[in-house]
Structures are given as structure tokens and as C-alpha cells.
Amino acid sequence: MIPVRDDNPTRSVPFVTILLIAVNVAVFFYELSLGTGHEANAFFANFALVPAEIVREPSSEAVRSAFTSMFLHGGWLHLIGNMWFFWIFGNNIEDSVGHFKFVVFYLLCGIAAAAAQVLSAPDSRLPMIGASGAISGVLGAYLLLFPRARVLAVVPIWIFLRFIYVPAWLMLIFWFVLQLFSGWATLRVTQGGVAFWAHVGGFVAGLALIPLFKKRNVRLFQ
């Protein structure tokens, strides 16, 4: 299932969500400007998260990469997919926690996602990049706050595409279970790929943090 939009209006302009999307897009265009040579390789070496460097060679630069890696993407599909999910679900979470607290929430979920990925493969020297871990935290928060919201989704059926409305809880639980099983399947894989355990870690962090971050007048399970 691919979400198209949700039927969940907001009461304020989600300018933090828009700003974070703009920063991710700007960084991606900067990546493109570097080409594919030495300069690009050096950029990713400096700002991508490498689990083995965190575990075996901890330094301020390695810790910093846990933050900077959230704003790097490996291609157009990687960027568009992440920003699309973030736009659909992020505005309601920003509305529910407040603008400043949303920044803190987003970054904490990203850090938790990075930690989960590092724990799943502490010896890996494959760089980890992308905002999907932090966005997974937004999805976890959405599950607790708006499980009954309706999401218009595209469902591929053979060669056809069907648009249907599904409850948010069904889509998000399906997505989380898919990440969990995919993570188990990749535990022994040494080649690059999707950081499924970052998705799991970010999602769980979002579930745990949203009761602490939400506004007092915002109820769970709306």
C-alpha cells in the first residue's frame, strides 16, 4: 500500500515540516552538484553514519554523523519516497506537539533509528543515510494519535492500481510488520540495502516519545 493523502486536517501551518523537507531537498541538490567522483565520496565519508566507526572508533565526527546522515539521500526515489511519507503524516504530528517540540521529537527519533541500526550491525562499514528513521518515528506517533484517520492508498493488484481508503492503524501496522520481518531477513546480509532496523527503531521511538511530547489537550487514539 502506498499512501496518497490522509483525511486529517491540521489547525496550523506545518512550517517545520516544510522547512525540513526543504533542507533535505537542498542537501540532495548539493549532492548532485558534486557529481560521482572523489568530492562526492569525501562528502559521504564525512557526513554518512558508519556503524563500525561509532562502535570502534568513537569521535565527535562519528557522533555528528548520526545527525547529518538524516539529511542525505542516495537517489531521487529515496528522497521522494521519504519526503512523500513525511508530508502526509508529519503535518498532523507537528500540529499535535507544537513547532519547536516537533524538531526535537524528529531528531530524537532519528537518533534512536541510528542506534537501532548500529546495534543490528555494529561491525558494518556500510554508510547509512536517509531521513526514513526519523520519519518512522513520525509514523509511530501517528499510529498512537490518529489510528482511525482515513488514508487514501494505492494498492497494486497484478498490473492494475486500485485506490482505496484504509484506516491509518491498518496501514501503519502493516508497514511496521513488513519492516520487522525484512529486518530479520537482512541480519546476516553484509551488502548494502535498506536500513530496516533503523525504521523499526525510529517507529518504536515515536510510539514511546509521543505521549511525552504531545500537547496536553491532544488525546491519544483520536
- How many Cβ atoms are within 10 Å of 78's Cβ, its own excluded? 17
**Do residues 202 and 37 make contact, with C-beta atoms less than 8 angstroms apart?**
no
Sequence-ordered strand ranges (E) for 15-85: none
Q: Please say whether the structural domain 2-213 has been given the CATH code 1.20.1540.10.
A: yes
Q: Which is more confident, 84 or 155? A: 84
Q: What is the distance between the alpha carbons of residues 129 and 125, in angstroms, rounded to a whole number?
A: 12
- pLDDT at 151 exceeding the cut of 70: yes
Across-strand partners of 167? 150
Mean pLDDT of 112-130: 90
The amino acid at residue 18 is I
Query: Grid coordinates 513547532 are at which residue?
Result: 99
Length of the chain: 222
Kindly list the domain boundaries of the chain, sorted by start residue: 2-213
- The answer to whether 95 and 10 are in contact (CB under 8 A) is yes
Q: What is the pLDDT of residue 190?
A: 53
Q: Which tens digits make up the pLDDT trace of 51-61?
A: 888 888 777 88
Query: Is the pLDDT confidence value at 189 over 70?
Result: no
The pTM of this model reads 0.91
Q: Using CB atoms within 10 A of its CB, is residue 201 exposed (0-12), middle (13-18) or buried (19+)?
A: buried
Give the mean pLDDT of the chain. 91
In the predicted model, what is the mean pLDDT of residues 135-143? 97
What integer is the mean pLDDT of 186-211? 84
